[in-house]
Amino acid sequence: MVKQLCRLDVEVLAIDKDSQKVEAISQECEDAITIDVSDEEVIREHLENVDVLVVTVGETPLPGILLTTIAQELDIRRIVIRAHEPTERAILEKLGATEIFSPEKKAAESMARNLTVPFSVDSLPLSTNQAIVKIDAPEDWIGKTVKEIGIRQNFAVNLICIARNDGTDHDFAPAIDKPFVKTDVLFLLGSRDRLEKLTGSLK
């Protein structure tokens, strides 16, 4: 995670209690420090100016629970936590974690698809300047068709999927005469600057 974020030119503060892990990552991350998360006072000091907290340790639920609580008190807007068990996920959600992920679950789902669907892939070969974003259909798009909005022509991004019925139905490469409805969730592919410009204009 740290390596990938640094390659995307993101300012990263990497923290771990294992000094060997910190030393190993220090060549790729300029700001890597050794801290035990149980040292609440020191953790608070280093998280004061953080915009996004990502907790990738998941052997026990305690670090995630402690760091989520601190992050909430510090008004960190995005809190991404690794978790395994349903009970642990429920606790973290109640504490204020905004996103919860399980690499093991994703890996298992990926392997199952690869074993059962020939030539299947789990991701697109995106460059560091490309991304896929998920947004709610903008209000001023409701009732208009894909053609009328002219997403590709006007915003230079591609609409690759429309999710409907609480995400149970997915329409990939939707027809240009398909009108948007209020509950649509859109998946858009494009350069990061174009996507940021589009999503910023929708706020």
Residue 54 lies in a domain: yes
Q: What three-state secondary structure class fits 47?
A: helix
pLDDT tens digits along 168-203: 889 998 889 989 999 999 999 999 999 988 887 655
Residue 60 lies in a domain: yes
Question: Do 95 and 136 share a domain, yes or no?
Answer: no
CATH number of the structural domain spanning residue 195? 3.30.70.1450
Question: Do 88 and 43 share a domain, yes or no?
Answer: yes
Query: Which pLDDT belongs to residue 201?
Result: 62
Residue 122 lies in a domain: no
Residue type, position 50, single letter: V
CATH number of the structural domain spanning residue 81? 3.40.50.720
What mean pLDDT do residues 32-60 have? Answer: 89
Residue 117 lies in a domain: no
Instruction: Provide the H-helix boundaries in 56-203.
Output: 62-73, 86-95, 103-116, 146-149, 151-155, 192-201
Question: Which domain covers residue 91, as residue numbers?
Answer: 35-106
Confidence of residue 62 (pLDDT cuts 50, 70, 90): confident
* Terminal CA-CA length for the chain: 29
21 and 27 Cβ atoms separated by less than 8 Å:
no
Domain count for the chain, please give it.
Answer: 2
Question: Do 40 and 92 share a domain, yes or no?
Answer: yes
Residue 17 lies in a domain: no
Distance CA 98, CA 71 (A): 11
Question: Do 134 and 193 share a domain, yes or no?
Answer: yes
Query: Which pLDDT belongs to residue 148?
Result: 94
pLDDT tens digits along 3-43: 988 888 889 999 999 999 999 999 899 899 999 888 889 99
Residue 30 lies in a domain: no
pLDDT tens digits along 82-140: 988 888 889 999 999 999 998 888 889 888 988 998 888 877 888 888 999 999 999 99
Can you tell me which residue has the tokens 């305690």?
62
Task: Please tell me the pTM assigned to this model.
Answer: 0.71
Query: Which pLDDT belongs to residue 149?
Result: 93
Question: Do 98 and 50 share a domain, yes or no?
Answer: yes
Residue 4 lies in a domain: no
